[in-house]
Amino acid sequence: MSENVPDDLQYTKSHEWVRKLPSGQVEVGITHHAQESLGDLVFVEVPQTDRHVAAGEACAVVESVKAASDVYSPVSGRVVASNADLAQQPELLNQDPYGAGWLMRVELDATAPGSALLTAAEYAQTLDAAD
Amino acid sequence: MGLRTPLYGTHVSGGAKIIDFGGWDMPLNYGSQIEEHHAVRRDAGMFDVSHMCVIDLTGARVREFLRLLLANDVAKLNVPGAALYSCMLNPNGGVIDDLIVYFQSESWFRLVVNAGTRHKDLKWISEHAAPFAVDVRERTDLAMIAVQGPNAIAKTVPLLPPGGRAAALKIARFSGAELGSWFVARTGYTGEDGFEIMLPAEDAAAAWQALEAQGIAPAGLGARDTLRLEAGMNLYGNDMDETRHPLESGLAWTVAFDPVEREFIGRAALTRARAAGGPVLVGLVLEERGVLRSHQQVSAAGESPADAQRATPPAGEVTSGTFSPTLNRSIALARVSKGMGPKVLVDIRGKPHAARVVKPPFVRNGKALIEI
């Protein structure tokens, strides 16, 4: 399981991941486990650029052959980019959830409180506990 | 742990994602449901359908018994191997199950019923068979593999018993033939040509591997659902059940009201329902992004003056919905007020979405039948 939970990312219990970029912004997506549970994705709705998202707020919708599911923003800040390729190729999210399947990039609020994100080990543990 | 078919181990070693389906541990997919769907539409795929229940009925009066038990009329079956799709109704006209009946000989018919309904079906059938001295036997010794797609027959025939290959190519659509210890029928649940093969359980794993070596892609229940919905075929429990009769389930074509002398269980209730009118099962195509799913509410698009004056506005509900990989759109079956459409609205996660009423099937033999 751990090979599908990269060590250099942070996670949420609701199966989102966060990558710190050199610019100080963060990139957000959903985990390998999330895409696998959903099955083949057929629609992905990403947030508009410049939208402000709050930690815990629904910011995207991923819809698979099986179910529609909200994605909750792991962080608070302004959306500076969202992945336009997913509109035409939702399968990118199945094929490469930590790379080409990213959902949005966020400029964090300066005043944002320290977040309660999980480390890779902590997230892997929540998956093991659920099995 | 659920019930397992003779192919369970084969699925697990093939990397299948296993889910519970009516108490059975069955493959949902072997990686990508959409790729499995396309394999069936474009080439050939195969499904383990051994969880379905094969029932042999034998006795001198078996035909007479089935003419009472089923809403369709087995008098139509005269050539050995010929098959008929029918509903089995309760006295209220509600659907106990939908099934396929094969005529084997004048004293032997075979039924294939749904997995989730096997116990109530066997009980119902046995109770009604007793006065006709018809023997009811569940064939748990058989496995069943459905091979479907434009190249399914060509890829399967070389694996059949040597004496049966020429005969297999002559099997007419919607009939079957006994080839050695295999019963091979040209039936299916995908809208594509192909075979459903009933074979001894102990042969199933080797047959599956040989079929895979022929280039036939294993496909799971996920693809089976998108394929059957594109083909406009009902799923028992979603599109009809014991509270719904065939006339409001898109299955009027399976009810043989003629000859009028034939008595069958549910006939009186259906005759009343036919006179009364009622909701109908239609196809829907979503005109926007999103996916139609069971139980979403359907309403008339834009209140016309006539709609506004009605005590109850026309309405309906999605009974089966999915994303159609062939059409790249969402499609559904929905039970709606008669005459509703062509434009309707479907409530998806609290927002109205435009959809269009169409006549199923959506896709047959690889071709889209609905304009997008």
pLDDT in tens, B120-129: 999 999 999 9
Task: Give the residue from B239, B199, B55, B40 showing the smallest Cα distance to B135.
Answer: B55
**Residues B292, B326: one domain?**
yes
Kindly report the nearest CA distance between residue A107 and chain B, in angstroms.
29
Interface predicted TM-score (ipTM) of this complex, two decimals: 0.82
Reported as a single tens digit per residue, the pLDDT across B50-101 is 999 999 999 999 999 999 999 999 999 999 999 999 999 999 999 999 999 9
In a domain, A112, yes or no: no
Say if residue B243 is in the same domain as residue B189.
yes
pLDDT at residue B319 above 70? yes
In a domain, A114, yes or no: no
Q: Give dist(CA B250, CA B245) in Å, integer.
A: 9
Task: Please check whether residue A94 touches B, CB under 8 A.
Answer: yes
Higher pLDDT residue, B307 or A100? A100
Same-domain status, B9 and B24 = yes
Would you call B103 exposed, middle or buried from its count of C-beta atoms within 10 A (0-12, 13-18, 19+)?
A: buried
Using a CB-CB cut-off of 8 Å, the residues of chain A touching B290 are 43, 63, 68
Q: Which residues of B touch A42 (CB under 8 A)?
A: 34, 291, 323
For residue B202, the model assigns a pLDDT of: 98
- Domain membership of residue A124 (yes or no) is no
Q: Are residues B169 and B258 in the same domain?
A: yes
CB B214 within 8 A of CB B159: yes
B234, B286: one domain: no
Domain count, chain A: 1
CA distance B36 to B48: 13
Whether B262 and B303 share a structural domain: no
| Rounded Cα–Cα distance for residues B316 and A13 (Å) | 37
CATH code for the domain in which residue A65 is found: 2.40.50.100
pTM of the model: 0.93
Residue B36 has pLDDT above 90, yes or no: yes
- Same domain, yes or no: B256 and B354: no
Range of the domain at B285: 279-368
The answer to whether residues A68 and A90 touch, using CB atoms and an 8 Å cutoff, is no
Q: Cα B242 to the chain's mean position, in Å?
A: 16
Residue A117 lies in a domain: no
Looking at the structure, do residues B327 and B212 belong to the same domain, yes or no? no
Domain count, chain B: 2
CA of A55: how far to CAs of A123, B92, B292, in Å? 18, 54, 29
Of the candidates B290, B323, B349, the beta carbon closest to that of A65 is on: B323
- pLDDT tens-digit profile of A53-69? 999 999 999 999 988 99
Q: What is the CATH number of the domain that holds B125?
A: 3.30.1360.120
Share of chain B above pLDDT 90, in %: 92
Residues B3 and B55 in one domain: yes
Do residues B181 and B98 both lie within one domain?
Answer: yes
B33-42 and B221-230 helices, crossing angle to 10°: 50
Q: Please indicate, yes or no, whether residues B87 and B181 belong to a single structural domain of this protein.
A: yes
Average pLDDT value for residue range A6-26: 96
Within a domain: A45: yes
Residues of B in contact with A37 (CB under 8 A): none
User: Is residue A123 domain-resident?
Assistant: no
Say yes or no to pLDDT of B192 above 70: yes
Q: Looking at the domain assignment, is residue A119 inside a domain? A: no
Check if B291 contacts A (Cβ < 8 Å).
Answer: yes
Closest alpha carbon within chain B to A69: B349
Helices (H) and strands (E) in chain A, counts: 4, 9
For residue B234, give every residue at least 6 positions away whose Cβ sits within 8 Å of its Cβ, in sequence order, or none: B98, B240, B249, B250, B251, B281, B320, B333
Show which of B277, B293, B319 is a domain's final residue: B277
Closest residue on chain A to B329 (Cα): A42
Rounded Cα distance between B29 and B16, Å, is 6
Query: Mean pLDDT for chain B?
Result: 95
Q: What is the CATH number of the domain that holds B311?
A: 2.40.30.110
Ranges of H-type helices in B140-266: 152-156, 165-169, 204-213, 221-230
Are B308 and B236 in the same domain?
no
Check if A107 contacts B (Cβ < 8 Å).
no
Q: Which residues does chain A have within 8 Å of residue B323's beta carbon, measured at their own beta carbons? A: 42-43, 63, 65
By the 8 A CB rule, do B148 and B44 touch? yes
Domain extent at residue A14: 8-107
Shortest Cα distance, chain B CAs vs residue A78, angstroms: 26
Query: For residues B81 and B26, what is the distance between their CA atoms, to the nearest angstrom?
Result: 29
pLDDT for A1 beyond 60:
no
